[in-house]
A and B are shown apart, each in its own frame.
Chain A
């Protein structure tokens, strides 16, 4: 009696101590003195909730039954921790940047903030964890009764109380008190974490104390202990290879996917650097926890009467040896293991249930949390508290229904296998961008269904499935037998279920992911999760839209509480350079607000709430298309700009060329004016001079009179000719010339030109060649003759050969009639060749008369007639080529 009373007293005192510790930690954190709360050691110790009562009591029982196989449960987590650089580091970073609140939130956020997936994961977690919680209640009850058995009055006493109920109620109270004190998951549960850290120390200390007592107190040292181990019934290495590997893998998977482990590993993580300490400290912790398991089991098998429950050896061995103090410590260790697990699991599950099931329903019922009349903040907290109560109630009910008979470890492994179904979706989500929501959902459903069928139902309360179904399969389908899927028999049931469920889970996940197409939001999130280290800032943004900052504030206040929200908004406004509390709803600000909110209500809900105020239900395809359109428009615009700038460059170049030409023209015009005034002035001067002589001089001889008068006449004629030429040129240039088009032979035109230019009087021979007589031209023959006369006259004037000779060569080439005028003089020097067609140009050193307009007029005439006039270099003398279109002749026929 005394023992049991003392036990209850110690137990209550211990619980009070935990309350105190949690309370102190909360206060210290509140006052900002909680730096020691954020040490990597606290983080490492909080991870120890992996070691539950199943571990504390069950490992010894496990070892007593199957030797060293129990150690696989610890090898998996050790490998995961040691390999933190692979997965944990990434998960923690994602959890921190995306403000992930639970494992369901992680998976739903990764797959486009999918509500369906979140619900699915939550349901799976609740189903998987509830038996586990009932297992903890059972272990506490069992340990109580172990004490009671040693106490004569205890049995009757313990029968009067429902220990499991009281434990469940107490735990619910503690969890509600310290687990739902504040909402934002960023303000982590310091009190809870501190309490479980203390419990971690207690359980390690208790187990090591029992181990030391067993090894040095009972066995007499390490050497004798080893001998006794080898002599015992588990003294030989005996291992099913499949189970060794399979259980290690399962425990590693469960370490990552168990909601409570995710809670302490990721959500409660203060600082990524804590992971480096935990990477070696936690494996050490696990190693110490399992160090004395085999010795305790061996000694227990020796000293305890046959048939006693090996799961209670940790407790019963000290008790039978009269070490009541040690037994008490051991009890506290087990109690700690059970309570810390239940507390964290309840927090994790309640977060998931309230964020992913209760809140979406509430939001839908009230048509949006922001405009609803009730205070969302209170609803969330109430939902969490109720969820905690419900989770514990479920655990208690399961314990009552199942009767608590099965071996402890079995339930734990069933739960592990169930939660491991999350692994493909989780790892695929953070390492493979191609993973889609449909794939994750399909994989989860398939894996979960197989697990339920093969493992959960057969083990549920001694077997829900009838014997017939177990042996012949449902409806006689033997390939669906729960322990022999596809007709493959003889595999260990756990391995069988784990292997098939995970195998098909992964297969379906990958296949569906490969063939399905993710939504835009999924792809966005996928890129962020997989490449988390490239951009740890959250770029998920709201594109445009005018949200009312005030509405956002009202909504946020309901969830996070007024003070926190006001300071957040003020800081945001200050960041934007605004005074007061209302920042502009920039995408940046909205993304940060959403992250703040998601800490409290989960990513999907926060997104939905901001979306409601923003007026956009989700980032729809249209939004993304709009963004893409904008980008495309900008690209188009910039290419237009580029084209424009190219055009401008081109125009500028043209303008510069035009300007050069204008300058040139202006120079030319000046030259023309000075030329023309000079040309006009010369005859005018002599006319004036001689007319003055005629007027003033008296007694001039008639001979002189005639001479002077003829000079004046000649000059006047020269002036007239010059003016005629100028007029001709201007008419030609202005295109006002009237052409007298008629048919005629080219040879006639040439003959006329030769006759008119009076070559007979000169000493120049003219040679003609080519079929000029055959060519009929439809053109202005007078004008053409004018050109020919000019060319012949030029040859007469400028040919400096001793025996000047002009060759007129006619040919037809490619639809054109070519007439070449080639003399045998020295020709035109190359630098002057380009200039001879300019007005007033004269080859300087020869004063042969003429104003230098002849060739310019000729070129204009040829242009009017549709032909060209050009200088033909390299012919041994001056050579001009007249080219006429032959088409007119053809047309004439």
Chain B
């Protein structure tokens, strides 16, 4: 829903802010996707586990999951530093 009278094209700075907002919106989706990846890993122990595929070791799982965690936190830190306070108050208008 565009506001009437809002310009079609924005200044470079505002444009950058809009894209950062997009990034802020997409970040949790990225997190969901990355944390869904472990479901694809070969399972250990279960009867359905293929015998020739080695199950992923817990240590590797820890590294992956916590690695994603750190990545997300850093991305959120970056976004919160880059996002303008003013852009935040004018809210989620889509342009």
Contact = CB atoms under 8 A, between A and B. Distances in A.
Interface of A: 67-68, 71, 75, 78-86, 89, 226-227, 229-230, 232, 234-239, 241, 244-245, 248, 272-273, 276-277, 279-280, 283-284, 286-287, 291, 294, 532-534
B6 interface: no
B39 interface: yes
B54 to A, nearest CB: 9
A227 B58 CA distance: 10
A797 B58 CA distance: 130
A237 B76 contact: no
Given A82-B76, A532-B91, 5 more contacts: A82-B31, A86-B25, A89-B88, A237-B55, A279-B80
A283 B58 contact: no
B51 interface: no
User: Which 6 A-B pairs rank lowest in CB-CB distance, beginning with the nearest?
Assistant: A533-B91, A83-B28, A236-B44, A280-B76, A276-B80, A280-B77
A239 B43 contact: yes
A68 B76 contact: no
Contact of B74 (A84, A89, A244, A280): A280
A286 B58 CA distance: 19
A461 B46 CA distance: 32
Contacts of B45: 236, 238
5 contacts: A68-B58, A78-B31, A82-B27, A236-B45, A533-B93
Contacts of B90: 533
A71 B66 CA distance: 10
Contacts of B92: 85, 533
Interface centre among A78, A286, A294 (most CB of B within 10 A): A78
Contact of B43 (A86, A237, A273): A237
A283 B28 contact: no
Give the interface SS of chain B, mostly helix, strand, loop or mixed.
helix
B28 A235 contact: no
Interface centre among B36, B69, B76 (most CB of A within 10 A): B76
A67 B58 contact: yes
Interface in B30-73: 31-32, 35-36, 38-39, 41-46, 55-62, 65-66, 69-70, 72-73
Interface of B: 21, 24-25, 27-29, 31-32, 35-36, 38-39, 41-46, 55-62, 65-66, 69-70, 72-77, 79-80, 83, 85, 88-93
A498 B48 CA distance: 26
Contacts of B79: 279
A274 B77 CA distance: 12
Contact of B72 (A78, A244, A533): A78
B69 A287 contact: yes
Contacts of B55: 236-238
Interface centre among B25, B28, B74 (most CB of A within 10 A): B28
A275 B33 CA distance: 24
A284 B31 contact: no
A89 B93 CA distance: 14
A245 B66 CA distance: 17
Given A79-B32, A85-B25, A86-B25, A230 B39 contact: no
A383 to B, nearest CB: 36
B58 A234 contact: yes
A79 B29 CA distance: 8
Contacts of B36: 245
A493 B69 CA distance: 29
B73 A241 contact: no
Contacts of B85: 273
Given A79-B31, A82-B76, A280-B80, A291 B66 contact: yes
Contacts of A83: 24-25, 27-29, 31
A83 B65 CA distance: 18
A89 B24 CA distance: 12
Contacts of A238: 43-46, 55
Contacts of B25: 83, 85-86
Nearest to A71: B65
B48 to A, nearest CB: 12
Contacts of B56: 236-237
A81 B43 contact: no
Contacts of B83: 276
Contact of A85 (B21, B69, B77): B21
Nearest to A284: B73
Nearest to B38: A239
Interface centre among B45, B62, B89 (most CB of A within 10 A): B62
A237 B58 contact: yes
Contacts of A277: 80
A237 B70 CA distance: 21
A287 B73 contact: yes
Contacts of A234: 58
A86 B55 CA distance: 37
Nearest to B90: A533
B76 A230 contact: no
Contact of A294 (B39, B58, B70, B88): B58
B57 A230 contact: yes
A521 to B, nearest CB: 24
B28 A86 contact: yes
A81 B90 CA distance: 20
Contacts of A279: 76, 79-80
B39 A283 contact: no
A237 B72 CA distance: 22
A75 B83 CA distance: 24
Contacts of A286: 69
Contacts of A230: 57-59
Given A238-B45, A280-B73, A291-B66, A226 B59 contact: yes
Contacts of B61: 68, 237
B43 A235 contact: no
Contacts of B38: 237, 239, 244
Interface centre among A79, A230, A272 (most CB of B within 10 A): A79
B32 A237 contact: no
B72 A283 contact: yes
Contacts of B88: 89, 272-273, 276
B35 A75 contact: yes
B67 to A, nearest CB: 10
A241 B60 CA distance: 18
Interface centre among B45, B70, B75, B92 (most CB of A within 10 A): B92
A237 B44 contact: yes
A794 to B, nearest CB: 71
B87 to A, nearest CB: 11
B39 A287 contact: no
Contacts of A235: 57-59
